[in-house]
Amino acid sequence: MKRVLLWIPNYDWKISYKMWLFLNKLIVPTDIKLEIKFVVRWIITEARNELMNYALHEKFDYLWFLDDDVIPNIDILENFSESDENIITWLVRKRSEPHNICVYKRLENNLDYKPLEAEELPTLLTKVDVCWCWCVFIERKVMEYMTKTYKSPFEFKEVFYKKDKDWFYIEHPTGSISKKVWEDILFFERVNMAWFDIYADITMDCIHLSEEFLELKID
């Protein structure tokens, strides 16, 4: 039995009508015990870190981050129950053109990422370097490692890259160049440093809603 904590950040305790429909129709397999937690979105880094600590304290096997404007298929948990990956994400496209899916491969300069298209993902489960936290499952042992290794696993940071080295250094070394990164990009870079695997499941292309919301109160 997998215990999964689904966390959906939202504003003013309101969700879209499509999200409400998704949650009501979501298929939960018998081998998964799901708990849904809504949190009014404050500083996103603090929210993600607090939820990760909560998931560990309550002994969940996976933490599922799902943005309130991202709608997966209602059978997503059936697909997930068949996997045992450290981290698995589903395809979510940016709202703005060219509507890339938000999974990436590191470029040879080790500083930038190339957004991948579905046709560049050769198998149903393809290993990637970085994804966003729009729809992602994170295994318990990843959370354990990240919370023991970093005071704030999710944080905004200016990081520094050695010109002749892979990866990054938090402290400014001589002969480096800097780059500001988002909290989920930095999290997954740290995950990569620990040799945990990140996989993209291409069997599902999630809906990314527009800015229009139905103001439906969450009880």
What's residue 90's pLDDT?
A: 87
Contact yes or no for 67/134 (Cβ under 8 A) = yes
Please report which confidence band the pLDDT of residue 12 belongs to, taking 50, 70 and 90 as the band edges: low
- Using alpha carbons only, what angle is made at residue 5 by residues 35 and 193, rounded to the nearest 5 degrees? 175
Does the pLDDT of residue 218 top 80, yes or no?
Answer: no
Domains and CATH numbers, the chain: 2-150+195-217 (3.90.550.40)
Share of the chain above pLDDT 90, in %: 36
Nearest Cα residue to 133 out of 40, 44, 202, 196: 44
Return d(Cα 116, Cα 27) in angstroms, integer.
29
pLDDT, averaged across the chain: 81
Query: Which pTM does this prediction carry?
Result: 0.84
Of residues 166 and 207, the one with the higher pLDDT is 207
